[in-house]
Structure 1
Amino acid sequence: MSNFPFPGLNLALTTPFDATGRIDWDRLETLIERYLGSGVRGFVLSSGTGMHVYLSKEESMELARRGSKIIKGRARIIVQTSALLAEEVVERSKHAADCGADGVMVLPPFFEGPTDDDDIVAFYTEVSNGGLPIIGYNVPQAVGVEITPSLLQMLCEIPNFCTVKDSSGDLGKQASLIRTGLPVMNGADPLVPYSLYAGASGLIWGGANIAPKTCLAIVEAARAQNWLGVRESWEALEPVMSLIWQGDYVQSVYAASKITGFDAGNPRRPLRALAEDKMDALHAALGDLAEREAV
């Protein structure tokens, strides 16, 4: 879709932490500036990769405020405003709008929430009062709610609901969503080139913290329908994108990003730094990405 508001790469930014586990605000600015310098023109603040569920409401809202102030209109801003209570989602979303965000990403009701389609639609209808375009979040393996093609069609009738981020990791099911003709964003790292070929409208990509230039090269090649170029860039990324998806995702993204020069510290507890016995495999999967990103 030519008027889709979130095309291309939207970086699900790691939230930087200091040695005590507090958000490192100085490092946040350094990271954002480095990613902007690499060509990133879309950010997701308080993302899943950025440990949204382990940030307090106040921290998440401050992250939206400070991140937006740093970006200063130089890139699109999506803020995750997911919460258990719809009223809180609305509050967070209105705050994101006040900060200058362009959209919000919202999980369906989770933790023993409703699974009936009508109840999911009712939830998103209520949270649409936040005023910004909504990106639904399809991650059934974590939430227990699957956004199917029929549900997506119902959701897209809600004012402000514009797309779904599919992090199911199932290319067949994502292709079914895309075939509705409605905009769908890929959120599963190992599927990136295949999703783009299938017609995904955009990407929300946590693994892009590791190698933004190389990830952007894939997006640009796909935009030009240069599928050989997509394949060439993907050969450098595929080993690490496949590895991190197999488990310890957040820990692996933080560890790999540190190696390639985009250091956000260590994840916040209860997560810990990636175990030492997994670092050799991570280094091997990274190949020459650190050198590529330094150019």
Structure 2
Amino acid sequence: MHIKWEGVMPAVTTKFTKEDTLDLEMFETNIQAQLEAGVSAIILGGTLGEASTLTDEEKKILIQETVRIVSGKIPVIINIAEQTTKGAIEAANKAKKYGASGLMMLPPMRYKANDFETVTYFKEVAKSTDLPIMIYNNPVDYGIEVTLDMFEELLTMPNIQAVKESTRDISNITRIKNRFGDRLKVLTGVDTLGLESILMGADGWVAGLVCAFPKETVAIYSLAKAGRIPEALAIYRWFLPLLELDINPQLVQNIKLAEVATGIGTEQVRAPRLPLQGDERKRVLKIIEEGMKTRPTLPECKPALV
């Protein structure tokens, strides 16, 4: 399936039962809510998806179930976060076999690769598959920055097509657009820079709080792309305290609590993660409760793609 690399793409959470198995019933409930809101793809196996705790069999099930649920309406993308080039190539091959439409890729994990090693890693995986690829550029959390010069080399690979821009430097979107134009699609990966990034020309938004608030997230994107900036801004100002739950070491627990509040998730996480406790739990619940009390009525606006 062709991927346009635009619109809102949820990095969905993985749902677990109290017995620590996949909760596929609640997972489907959430995916259906995303589809109804008008998202443009589903991304599996990111940080929010607790990918590092999933077995290969669980990843297979999640890809296959998501492909079944979306039924060809939108692409299914799987994140690759591996320690070795061999492991990343194997993961890409499995993703294709199980029905994924595209890949999101982090640089090598644990080992701090230099620029040449990082570029070689991405290119070797790109050579091994015909799936389209979005590079996940998050030096803040993962310690390796993919620079514009590195992207110049990477774009010699036709299936490297997009970047999840998470440098936290809003000007980087302009730098990318100035240098590459439409050769490299840009999707913001930082919820608290969501609207700002769209206004600076980002093609899409890989979102986190969308897991709990899909309609609001899609509304901000669609209104902004339609030039209805004051309406988008009003929703975004309401949303910001909730969006700040995404830039936190406990973002998975935070967002799962928000999913409970909106009825499309559970609080279950997989150890070593544990549900929030004490004062931090009270703080997060207060933010969510305030957001639910003041949840805005959304204006009419069809989900927009660029």
TM above 0.5: yes
Structure-2 change in CA distance of 1:291 and 1:227 (3 Å): closer
1:273 paired residue number: 275
The 3-state SS of whatever aligns with 1:222 is: helix
Per-residue CA distance 1:46-105 (angstroms, 9 max, x = gap): 222111112122322221122112221122211113222222222222232233322101
- More moved, 27-36 vs 192-201: 27-36
2:56 paired residue number: 57
- 1: CA distance, partners of 2:238 / 2:202: 21
- 1: CA distance, partners of 2:57 / 2:202: 33
Paired residues for 1:12-161 under 5 Å: 12-115=11-114, 117-128=115-126, 129-161=128-160
How far does residue 294 in structure 1 lie from its aligned partner after superposition?
10
Identical aligned residues as a percent? 27
1:162 paired residue number: 161
How far does residue 174 in structure 1 lie from its aligned partner after superposition?
4.2
How far does residue 291 in structure 1 lie from its aligned partner after superposition?
7.3
Letter in 1 for 2:283: A
CA contact (8 A) 1:6 1:76 kept: no
Tell me the matched-pair count.
292
TM normalised by structure 1 equals 0.91
- 2: CA distance, partners of 1:23 / 1:294: 34
Of the candidates 205, 221, 224, which is equivalent to residue 223 of structure 2? 221
- More moved, 285-294 vs 52-61: 285-294
How far does residue 244 in structure 1 lie from its aligned partner after superposition?
3.4
Letter in 1 for 2:229: W
Letter in 1 for 2:148: P
Structure-2 change in CA distance of 1:43 and 1:267 (3 Å): same
- 2: CA distance, partners of 1:292 / 1:84: 42
CA contact (8 A) 1:211 1:293 kept: no
How far does residue 263 in structure 1 lie from its aligned partner after superposition?
1.2
The 3-state SS of whatever aligns with 2:136 is: strand
The answer to whether structure 1 residue 264 and structure 2 residue 266 are counterparts is: yes
- 2: CA distance, partners of 1:279 / 1:233: 25
1:248 paired residue number: 250
Q: Which runs of 5+ in 1 are unaligned?
A: none
Per-residue CA distance 1:95-134 (angstroms, 9 max, x = gap): 322333221011111211422x222121111101122011
- 2: CA distance, partners of 1:41 / 1:294: 22
Structure-2 change in CA distance of 1:82 and 1:244 (3 Å): closer
- 2: CA distance, partners of 1:253 / 1:159: 35
- 2: CA distance, partners of 1:243 / 1:23: 24
How far does residue 293 in structure 1 lie from its aligned partner after superposition?
8.6
The 3-state SS of whatever aligns with 1:179 is: helix
Structure-2 change in CA distance of 1:155 and 1:264 (3 Å): farther
CA contact (8 A) 1:15 1:264 kept: no
How far does residue 188 in structure 1 lie from its aligned partner after superposition?
0.6
Per-residue CA distance 1:18-49 (angstroms, 9 max, x = gap): 11222112222222123222333311012221
Letter in 1 for 2:65: R
CA contact (8 A) 1:105 1:134 kept: yes
- 2: CA distance, partners of 1:243 / 1:172: 23
CA contact (8 A) 1:4 1:201 kept: no
TM normalised by structure 2 equals 0.88
The 3-state SS of whatever aligns with 1:158 is: coil
Letter in 2 for 1:222: A
